[in-house]
Amino acid sequence: MRYPQTFVDDLKRQADIVRVVQDYVQLKKKGANWMACCPFHKEKTPSFSVSPTKEIFYCFGCHKGGDVFSFIKEIEGVGYGEAIKIVADRVGIPLPRLVDDDRFAVKRQEADEVVQLNGWALEWWEKQLETSAEALTARQYLERREITEETKKTFRLGYSPDSWDALSSYLRHKGATPLQIERSGLLVKRDDGKTYDRFRGRLMFPVFDTQNRPIAFGGRTLKNEDAKYINSPETAAYIKGRNLYGLNLTRDEIRRNGFAILVEGFLDLIVPYQFGILNVAASLGTALTPDQVKLLSRFARKVVVNYDGDRAGVQAAKKSIEILLAEDIEVKVLVLPENADPDEFIRKFGAVEYQQRRAKAQPHIQFVIENALRDRSLHRPAEKAEAVDEVLPYIRAVQSRIQKREYFDMAMDALQIKDVSLKRELWQSLRAPAHVAGSAGQRVLRRTGLKPTVAEQRLLELLLANDNLRKEILPSLQKSDYDELATASVFTALIELEAEGQEPDLDKLSQKTGDDPVAHDLLPMLLMGSSVQEDEKDQDIRLAIANCLDALRLVNIDRRIRELSAEIAAAERNGDDARQVELIMEYGELDRRRKGYEPQSRIAHAESS
Ligand SMILES: [Zn+2]
């Protein structure tokens, strides 16, 4: 339940933030703002300021800041809803009745309906598997796989009859409306508007969320159709890549064991489970997603990846390793002999043999190295370089420094790199920005811990405080000027707002910068513009902006120059003369540009003009 957004917006506009804050602290007018000693931390000289025009407060001492509601939340120690009540009361505006956020409520109800229909389908399919004559092939298939009656019940397996409308008739008979049935994803709608049952003549595997609600299905063919498995489409209850199969049953065991075994298919989970290996989760065909890893990491921070040993399986395993490392999960890889999958292996050799191999699963880096060395010779420098390139990203992604060093040493040994200075260079390159084909996860890693520089903060303050100069300067910024900065999201937001013809204020900027923690902490201060003097001349501001830009461009150039030194050395080692010449040219060009950005030359230039 919440207040209508229009009411909150109106209230904020009408609540004079100065008047509201005044009730708690003695404000004194200073320029356009009001100042006081901060109520949130101890101080003798005022660093707490309130801007009536921007409708925000900010403390330069303890960095608390925000709008009038955040102030009340903070000072009264209440929640957001309560803060709205207090402000409305102070301003004398009657509260509207609480409303549920309509869209949210509708969506939740739709999701509940999908779950309800899935539940009916699931029970009906279970009965079919047990009793119908048609389901004989399904029962035989499970028998061949040695699936017991108990396992069938635990995983609620079922059989969907080979009929175009048997399920929909049943759902209608249970009381579902045509619209509900259509939204459930259990039907397919043709272009001409006619519908038919999605799952026909298949062995059904229901997928549950961690609250044990049936949210989707996978259906396996029993007739050698092209599509071995078909799955539920996304519905109000089911978003792909958010759930892991089996986790509703295995989460506690995963927590107890301190690690999860990650497999690919339904039976790769069901068969180990039947044999008493209970700490397993399945990613289900689609590539593992960061959301799935976040879900899994609530139960364990260690994962043993056990995918198929074939080529596709190895590629999928490598992808998963990257995603897992980015979430700071310790990864081992289990490769079963003769490319067996867990299902086959356990039925053939038993759980004890499986557990023994699992205990000897290799650290992720060993798996990556072995794959990098397959079909490559370390005696050929170019192939050795390729192998290094392939392996290093999986070391770079490791978050613990001690483990990173351990893996690095393992890799250097395996790749036969003995030269001490080369090793040092590679080690250092791991801490430099990843200009190797950087995945999004890598970029995030690089961003974390990056601190905003004085120059970028001052530049943003100047741009925010001067509407005319902002409109003039923003279009001249290159993406490369701010792309690598800690405040990149603020620059991007400013440019977007400018393009949309909107004035930047706290609300709009916060919305655009989303959950970027740097922007969140910095925005009130930037908007308050402490370094901006009110009587500063236009000409001086221009010069200040130019100086900040120069400083930032200089930082970028220095970063690239550091990269280039390493790349030139690498090209020389690889005997790639053409590349080396190219890199040296770039180096010279950058060095020349660097001189143009020395701040002194800019100031000298300004003074002489
Ligand atoms: Zn403070």
Cα-to-centroid distance, 42 and ligand 1 (Å): 7
Q: How far is the CA of 40 from the centre of ligand 1 (A)?
A: 5
Q: What number of other Cβ atoms are within 10 A of residue 13's Cβ? A: 9
Weakest-pLDDT range from 149-163, 173-187, 227-241, 426-440: 426-440
In the reported structure, the alpha carbon of residue 44 is separated from the centroid of ligand 1 by a whole-number distance in angstroms of: 11
Span from the CA of 23 to the centroid of ligand 1 (angstroms): 17
Residue 609, pLDDT > 70, answer no
Give the Å distance between the CA of 43 and the centre of ligand 1: 8
CA-to-CA dists, residue 204 to 207, 239, 448, angstroms: 10, 19, 44
Give first-to-last CA distance, the chain, whole Å.
63
d(CA 210, CA 247) in angstroms, rounded, equals 6
Per-residue pLDDT tens over the stretch 85-102: 889 988 788 887 776 666
What pLDDT sits at residue 433?
Answer: 59
Q: How far is the CA of 472 from the centre of ligand 1 (A)?
A: 35
List of residues 6+ apart from 107 with CB closer than 8 A: 236
The Å distance, Cα 48 to ligand 1 centre, comes to: 6
Asked if 129 and 139 count as a contact pair (C-beta separation under 8 A), the reply is yes
Token look-up 């539920």 returns 232
Going from the Cα of 432 to the center of ligand 1, the distance in angstroms, rounded, reads: 36
Task: Report the separation in Å between the CA atom of 491 and the middle of ligand 1, taken as the mean of its atom positions.
Answer: 26
The rounded Å distance from CA 58 to ligand 1 centre is: 8
Confidence of residue 126 (pLDDT cuts 50, 70, 90): very high
Burial code of 430-465, b = ≥16 C-beta within 10 A, e = fewer?
Answer: beebbeeeebebbeebbbeeeebbebbbbbbbbbbb
Estimate the crossing angle of helix 517-528 against helix 506-513, to 10 degrees.
160
Encoding tokens for residue 541?
């501001």
In the predicted structure, residue 581 carries a pLDDT above the cut 90: no
The Cα diameter of the chain in Å comes to 97
Centroid of ligand 1 to alpha carbon of 5 (angstroms): 29
- Distance from chain centroid for Cα 118: 29
Q: Comparing C-alpha atoms, which of 256, 294, 298, 261 is closest to residue 277?
A: 261
pLDDT higher than 60, residue 213: yes
Strand order in the sheet with 158-160: 158-160, 202-208, 214-221, 229-231
For the stretch 309-331, pLDDT in tens is 888 888 899 999 999 998 889 99
Tokens 């930082």 sit at which residue? 555
Type and span of the H or E element at 58? strand 56-59
CA 532 – ligand 1 centroid, Å = 20
Q: Percentages helix, strand, coil for the chain, rounded to the nearest 5?
A: 55, 10, 30
Bridge partner residues of 2 (DSSP)? 99
Q: Token digits for 140?
A: 């035989």
Report the separation in Å between the CA atom of 456 and the middle of ligand 1, taken as the mean of its atom positions: 23
Could you tell me the pLDDT band of residue 159, with boundaries at 50, 70 and 90?
Answer: very high
CB 495 within 8 A of CB 564: no
pLDDT band for 583, please (50, 70, 90 cuts): confident
| Residue 113 in this model has a pLDDT that exceeds 70 | yes
How far is 117 from 437, CA to CA, in rounded Å?
A: 45
Average the pLDDT over each of 168-172, 208-212, 444-448 and give the range with the smallest value. Answer: 444-448
Residue 60 CA, ligand 1 centroid: distance in Å: 7
Helix (H, G, I), strand (E, B) or coil at 73: helix
Residues with Cβ within 8 Å of residue 410, at least 6 apart in sequence? 363, 365, 366, 369
Amino acid making up residue 511: Q
CA of 454 to the centre of ligand 1 (A): 21
Task: Give residue 359 CA to ligand 1 midpoint distance, Å.
Answer: 53
pLDDT tens profile 415-444: 888 778 778 888 887 876 555 433 222 322
d(CA 513, CA 511): 6
Tell me the CA distances in angstroms from 529 to 54, 260, 283, 508, 573, one per residue in order: 11, 50, 49, 17, 50
Distance (Å) from CA 35 to ligand 1 centroid: 11
Q: What DSSP state is assigned to residue 235?
A: B
Please state, for a pLDDT cut of 90, what percent of the chain lies above it. Answer: 44
Distance of CA 568 to the CA centre of its chain: 34
Instruction: List alpha helices for 360-500, DSSP H.
Output: 364-373, 381-396, 401-414, 420-429, 440-447, 454-465, 467-473, 479-482, 488-499
